[in-house]
């Protein structure tokens, strides 16, 4: 009799719990299907091994840069020969060749490094995929550099293959290129030396902040277009100079999103001297075609 009761209870328990078991299996299979879809989507959005016409955080990635996935959330970028990375850590600028990494992190699932198509002649954009919680993308240092990545305040890329030159234009808009901060050109020793050698070769003297006679000259340095103030010493190089009359230049965005903002280039004549404005630049930001116009 007891055996029959036990058997009946087993059958009854099975009938009661079977629907819940089936529901749970269906739920699990739905989750797996979603996972497969997410994985396929990530595969479709992965960065190619060699990059072309790509931006990351408003920074133009050089043509031919190699992208290697360390995991879905982190990519290593190896720049072509002659390109260098400028980083800023705790107010200190560092110039180095080699590798930089970009990482997407979140407390949930997802948040992979992916490529978003630009469309309409716009560059493709590197970014982070959707996440079940807040997702953050940031530059990180390779482990071998032993630098706290949380201290990275700024990242830029320069092309050391290009010589420093005077831009042969007068009273015309000056194309400004991509976003960057020219102030570090005078802070990083190797770059500052190259600039000073160029100035000496062309009999140019950076404005001392005192002389009332100065002229502004457009310069291209390492692929960056800027305008610098020089003491007006009748140098032959200053034949392409502008007379500013203390009127600030304007920055125009001709194509793309908002950006192209004016920024002064400052310099300290001595360690205890206050900084003076020795030039101008336009930071492109998200603007595709940014130009600077200096009043005649």
pLDDT at 22: 31
Q: What percent of the chain has pLDDT over 90?
A: 15
* pLDDT value at 29 more than 60: no
pLDDT on residue 148:
62
Residue 238 is predicted with a pLDDT of 84
pLDDT at res. 32: 26
Q: Where are the domains of the chain?
A: 54-159, 165-293
Instruction: Give 69: exposed, middle or buried? Use CB within 10 Å, 0-12, 13-18, 19+.
Output: middle
CB atoms within 10 A of CB 172: 12
Closest CA to 84 of 13, 204, 215, 185: 185
Give yes or no for a contact between 266 and 275, defined as CB atoms under 8 angstroms apart: yes
> Which range in 11-20, 42-51, 188-197, 277-286 is most confidently predicted, on average pLDDT?
188-197
Lowest average pLDDT, out of 34-43, 106-115, 173-182, 195-204, goes to: 34-43
Q: Which residues on adjacent β-strands are paired with residue 266? A: 277
Q: What's the number of CA atoms in the CB half-sphere (13 Å) around residue 207?
A: 24
Mean per-residue pLDDT of the chain: 77
Contact criterion met (CB below 8 Å) for 289 and 256 = yes
Give the mean model confidence (pLDDT) for residues 164-192: 78
Q: In terms of DSSP bridges, do strands 113-116 and 124-128 run parallel, antiparallel, or are they unpaired?
A: antiparallel
Are 291 and 251 in contact by the 8 Å Cβ rule? The answer is yes
What whole-number distance in Å separates Cα of residue 11 and Cα of residue 130? 46
Measured CA to CA, the distance from residue 250 to residue 15 in angstroms comes to 79
The pTM assigned to this predicted structure is: 0.72
191: CB partners within 8 A, 6+ apart: 95, 158, 184, 185, 221, 222
């Amino acid at each position: 009799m007891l055996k029959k009761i036990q058997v009946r209870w087993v059958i009854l328990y099975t009938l009661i719990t079977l629907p819940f078991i089936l529901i749970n299996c269906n739920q699990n299979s739905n989750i797996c299907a979603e996972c497969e879809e997410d994985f396929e989507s990530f595969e479709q959005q992965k960065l190619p091994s060699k990059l072309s016409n790509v931006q990351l955080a408003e920074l133009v990635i050089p043509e031919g840069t190699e992208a290697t996935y360390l995991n879905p959330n982190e990519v290593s970028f190896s720049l072509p020969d002659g390109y260098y990375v400028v980083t800023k850590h705790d107010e200190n600028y560092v110039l180095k060749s080699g590798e930089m990494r970009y990482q997407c992190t979140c407390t949930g699932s997802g948040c992979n490094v992916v490529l978003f198509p630009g469309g309409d002649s716009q560059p493709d954009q590197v970014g982070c995929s959707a996440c079940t919680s807040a997702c953050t993308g940031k530059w990180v240092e390779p482990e071998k550099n032993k630098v706290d990545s949380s201290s990275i305040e700024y990242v830029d890329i320069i092309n050391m293959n290009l010589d420093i030159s005077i831009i042969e234009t007068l009273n015309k808009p000056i194309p400004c290129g991509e976003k960057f901060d020219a102030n570090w050109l005078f802070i990083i020793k190797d770059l500052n030396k190259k600039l000073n050698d160029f100035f000496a070769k062309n009999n140019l003297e950076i404005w001392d902040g005192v002389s009332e006679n100065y002229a502004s000259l457009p310069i291209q340095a390492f692929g960056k277009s800027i305008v610098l103030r020089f003491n007006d010493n009748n140098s032959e190089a200053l034949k392409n100079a502008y007379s500013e009359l203390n009127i600030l230049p304007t920055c125009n965005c001709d194509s793309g999103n908002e950006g192209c903002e004016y920024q002064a280039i400052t310099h300290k004549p001595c360690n205890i001297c206050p900084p003076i404005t020795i030039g101008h630049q336009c930071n492109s930001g998200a603007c595709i075609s940014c130009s600077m116009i200096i009043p005649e």
